[in-house]
Structure 1
Amino acid sequence: MSKAYLTEKQRKSNRRNLFIIYGLGLLIITFFIISMNTGFIRLSPIEVIQTLFGQGTDKQQLILYEFRLPRIVISILVGMGLAISGCILQGISRNALADPGIIGINAGAGLAVMLFISFFPSTTAVPVFLLPVLAFSGAGITAIIIYVLAYKRDEGISPMRLILTGVAIAAGISSAMIVLTLRLSPENYQFVATWLAGSIWGSNWKFVLSLLPWILILIPFVYSKARVLNVLNLGDLTATGLGTSIEKERRLLLAAAVALAGASVSVSGGIGFVGLIGPHLARQLVGSRHQFLIPAAALTGGLLVLIADTIGRSILQPSEIPAGIVVAVIGAPYFLYLLSRLKD
């Protein structure tokens, strides 16, 4: 009787979680439509629908297909990538404050991109499809340094030591990037300033195609590791007892987190806190089982960046506020709130 009750209870929980995930998907579709109508040049919902069905004017098609749709799609993909990266880092470190931006992975990716573009006379000379690879390299080297410094043979990875090491590395990289800006041309300096603020600068279909394979390959891979993440949350001793190769799985998942963060940062700039807020909000909605947490975090992150970019494009027209600043306005207080809840 008890087993049957628990099974029925679990089924209700699963149905509820699926309903929430579908609801998040509908919210993304809703804000997708709102974002298509938002901008310096207004398009009414009817004009958007007509343009989507090929009945709009040349001007409307240019605005929608060449400017707005790529940026909207990139916003969603970037949010998904950063949120899943944060979800992985929180899972493997068992630390509620783990985030690719806070622990320096985003900064490492940014430094690699910045070093590369500093040797080009124009940002248009940067090969689009090479950017995610460069960002992954920078993020990967940074993650290795953080992992080595935070690791102790007898204790493994201490969650607090991981965060503190990452914060220190991020501060050092940020200082190096400030020094590097002194040798940039005015054009590249403007690009770097925009990038650091977290603007969705890669807003054409080439950047969508450069980011899309990373998202399509890595998110299903991470989802396939949902059970592993569930086991890792039980602690190292329990995970080892259940036959999990802890360090091997951690390294694989860390590589996936680094790749997702690096690829996302390469086209969006320094957008922070998405990897922190997305998983936390998703956890509040669907619980800590990664079978539901991973898709919920992806949708929450995509929705967050999409809303932030839409607000940034509309609040001070014709000027724009970078999405990273809008997210930071939300993320910084939320980060302080999480800090206040941590036990000593």
Structure 2
Amino acid sequence: MQSSFIRKYLANKISCMYLLSGVFVVCTALLGLFISSVQYPIAMIIDVLSTKLFGLSFSESEGGKTAETIIWEIRYPRVLLAFLVGAALSLAGAAFQGLLRNPLADPYTIGVSSGASLGAVMVLYFQLTIPFLGSYTLPVIAIIGGFITMFIVFGVTHLSTRQLSIETIILAGIIVSSFISAIISLIISLSEREDVRQILYWLMGNVGMRGWSHVKLMIPFLLIGAIVLLSRSRELNAFALGEESAEHLGVDIQRSKLIILVGASLLTGAAVSVSGSIGFVGLVIPHFIRLLCGPNHRHVLPLSMLVGGGYLILADLVARTIIAPSELPIGVITSLIGAPVFALLLIRERIGRGSA
């Protein structure tokens, strides 16, 4: 009787979490569309979106082509891209934390973000344009840089231990990230003033001045990465018990590690390639979700995607309105919010353990 009540309570709690997360995403998306430094009536915004999405027009738009361009070509893809990037970083962070059994792990732990950043900085510094890629040169090179870094980390790990041990992966990631950061600093020091401003602004993270091309680039990588990681929730739950226990439960340790790392690295590389380095999203959001719904990755992964996407929309809204008409890099906002929040979460968890 008691176990049945507990199961029912937990099921209702999880259902409420999904409902609240969905409402949070919808509300932040609406705020992102309705609020900006350039104000338009809500009815006009709804009319433009309904016309473009469903071919239904409810009224004559007074703003003309200018309003339509700002709403459909600038504001809407910006909100959508913020959601996609936030969802990707949060999902990757949840996977890294589950795999490495470390609440301090995030998409940047194994150096994928640093590698993607280096690829993007090289494109900006050398003004590279691959003929058949055109404007896609920067995102594609950034993703390739992320994967190359991941393979270097795997190589260092394999040469040192012959296995993909968790501790060695973290140490190798820190070593490779430090080396790449030094290369990026060297490039910045050799750059002219105009290039330095552009590179630094990109490194601080931003989803502004992006368009549908970036959204279209991000969607397939998010879908592939999400399918890979969401299908591995059982393995991530098993890893929480330790590698030996996971192996006894029938998990192929090395293969599962590789698949999860590739999926999370794909998401991170794609996110960094379109938005730059945005910190603390993949660190704070999964940790926050675990505190609310428990450690079951069957729910932690999708809830992290929803809440992370909504959170980044909200952070972008703050970044573009707090000092309007100027904008702040979104990475600055996520760091200012994420660092103290994560510190409070850690203190709360330590206090909880101490009193238990």
Output the TM-score relative to the length of structure 1: 0.89
Once the two structures are TM-superposed, the CA of residue 201 in structure 1 deviates from its matched residue by 4.3
Runs (4+) off by over 6 Å: 121-126
Aligned residues with identical type, % of pairs = 30
Q: For 1:45-194, what aligned pairs fall within 5 Å after superposition?
A: 45-54=42-51, 55-56=60-61, 57-120=64-127, 127-150=134-157, 153=161, 157-159=165-167, 161-184=168-191, 188-194=195-201
Q: More displaced, 185-194 or 291-300?
A: 185-194
- Which secondary structure does the structure 1 equivalent of 2:103 belong to? coil
Task: Give the counterpart of 2:246 among 233, 239, 243.
Answer: 239
CA RMSD after TM alignment: 2.6
Q: For 1:243-258, what aligned pairs fall within 5 Å after superposition?
A: 243-258=250-265
Once the two structures are TM-superposed, the CA of residue 28 in structure 1 deviates from its matched residue by 1.1
* Distance in structure 1 (CA, Å) of the matches to 2:65 and 2:189: 42
Distance 1:52 1:261, change over 3 A: same
* Distance in structure 2 (CA, Å) of the matches to 1:144 and 1:193: 26
Once the two structures are TM-superposed, the CA of residue 102 in structure 1 deviates from its matched residue by 4.7
Task: Give the counterpart of 1:6 among 3, 20, 24.
Answer: 3
Corresponding residue pairs, total: 339
Tell me if structure 1 keeps the 8 A contact 2:74–2:209. no
* Residue 44 (1) aligns with residue 38 (2): no
* Distance in structure 2 (CA, Å) of the matches to 1:77 and 1:138: 20
* Distance in structure 1 (CA, Å) of the matches to 2:28 and 2:262: 32
Partner of 1:318: 325
Tell me if structure 2 keeps the 8 A contact 1:195–1:201. no
Once the two structures are TM-superposed, the CA of residue 115 in structure 1 deviates from its matched residue by 1.6
Output the TM-score relative to the length of structure 2: 0.86
* Residue 289 (1) aligns with residue 296 (2): yes
Q: Which runs of 5+ in 2 are unaligned?
A: 52-59
* Residue 211 (1) aligns with residue 223 (2): no
* Distance in structure 2 (CA, Å) of the matches to 1:58 and 1:155: 59
Tell me if structure 2 keeps the 8 A contact 1:226–1:290. yes
* Distance in structure 1 (CA, Å) of the matches to 2:107 and 2:50: 40
Once the two structures are TM-superposed, the CA of residue 185 in structure 1 deviates from its matched residue by 5.5
* Distance in structure 1 (CA, Å) of the matches to 2:130 and 2:205: 16
Q: More displaced, 207-216 or 100-109?
A: 100-109
Tell me if structure 2 keeps the 8 A contact 1:136–1:258. no
